[in-house]
Chains A and B, each alone.
Chain A
Amino acid sequence: MKKRLTTLASIAALAAASLLVPAPSPAQILEAELTVKGLACPFCAYGLERKLEKLPAAASVAITFKQNLARVQFDGRQSPDIGDFFRLVHDAGFKLEELRLLVRGRRAETGGEPCLELPGGTTLPFAAGGPGAALAREVPAGTLVEARATVKAAEEGGRTGPYRLLVKSYKALER
């Protein structure tokens, strides 16, 4: 009897914990690689690390001078806005030259264009070229897709964006 009560208490505790801790979203940015111009000294790059740590769900930030690279790992509970990457790097005093993402999202349509839908309803249309065309053609809408892609940003009126995904590789995970 006592053993049964203990088991029931454990199950109840687990159920309560699962309500308190939100489950990771299936659509998420898993990793970001930022190629950054202006990286010269560690003391100044500290500001970049501080800024990138502010990205929602950033779990770790690693900066490599040799490759002019900042790599951010995410814990998947939230997802940053793509514009945040450009804004935060600029606010740190550097220039984001290229943004590459390992991203999980739903294949969707926006404005009649095929896209990947990220958490929070953000949609990123595919840029021309690369396997993005095959993804758009062969993967049905609603499918969860994991893709490695470069974010292409248009410069419009002094602002960066809108953004497109130049897909480098992908795999369909589920419907």
Chain B
Amino acid sequence: MPKAHDILVAVLLAGFAPGLARAHEPIFGIGPRTIWKNGFGLETELEREREEVENVWSLREEILYGISADVALTLEIPYLLEKSDGRSQASGFGDTMLRGKWRFYRKEVWGGIYHAAILGGVEFPTGKTSGVALGSGSYDYFTGLAGAYEGRRWLNFGAVRYRFNTADKTGFARPDVFLYDAAVGFRPVLTEYTQPDVVLMFEINGEVFGKARRNGDPVAGTGGDRMFGAFGVWFTYRNWAFKPGVQFPLVQNMGPLRPRRDFRAVFAVEFHL
């Protein structure tokens, strides 16, 4: 029999799917944008997430490097400042992720760009799994596809991802997740290069969960789907970006073991050098 606590932790961690703000992209989704060749980006994200009695405050440090103008690598190191399940709490490093992006298509137009990228990544079990777990205890993988048109006034993004979660040492595997994102951005004032720039973002983020598995067998009460709406803003000035955003549930059809998410909020600061 699966332990309810295991499953609770597992489905909660599944919410840590890759896809928070990075580069000039949707705040909760993902886009095809890469960084220039040999460019570095540093991003710090403060995130708050609440799901009924579950409460998480976390910091993420991301280091982005452009191998070429169309191939980028990102190392993501999460640090959970506080994770509480209503009874106890913990803090420490979560699961580190290494991901890559290959922008296989780009068509530059006047004042805009159409582009698309293939995404892939691996999450390493670097977070502790005892007590209030901060990591999954398993190597997990994701792959996906992202496309966008980014113009001066309007920006449109779309992405699909699939996350494969493998079993931990106890034979428990969190559910695989299919994620889809759509986002629209609007730049109310067309500023010049040396002026501060503002883009308003609206996003739809969906997650479809498979069943959790124990020793290969599906676990009852797991799986389901949920959809969120999100508002965010990009404030950028040259190589600095400030990206606050809040995500709220629209639909949640999850199993009885999964707490309902109340909200998720992110404040990200990114610096390119």
**Chain A residues in contact with chain B, CB under 8 A?**
36-51, 63-66, 68, 90-95
Contacts and interface: CB of A to CB of B under 8 A. Distances in A.
The size bracket of the interface on B is 35 or more
A42 B237 contact: yes
Interface of B: 24, 33-39, 68-70, 106, 108-113, 150-152, 155, 190-195, 197, 199, 234, 236-239, 241, 272
A42 B195 contact: yes
A105 B246 CA distance: 58
Nearest to B236: A43
B272 A47 contact: yes
Contacts of A45: 193
Contacts of B108: 36-38, 94-95
Going nearest first, the 7 A-B pairs with the smallest beta carbon separation are: A38-B108, A47-B36, A37-B108, A91-B37, A95-B108, A43-B236, A63-B193
A89 B106 CA distance: 14
Contact of B193 (A65, A90, A92, A95): A65
B37 A92 contact: yes
A39 B112 CA distance: 6
Contacts of B237: 42
Contacts of A65: 111, 152, 190-193
A93 B34 contact: yes
A37 B36 CA distance: 15
A93 B193 CA distance: 16
A50 B192 contact: no
Nearest to B185: A41
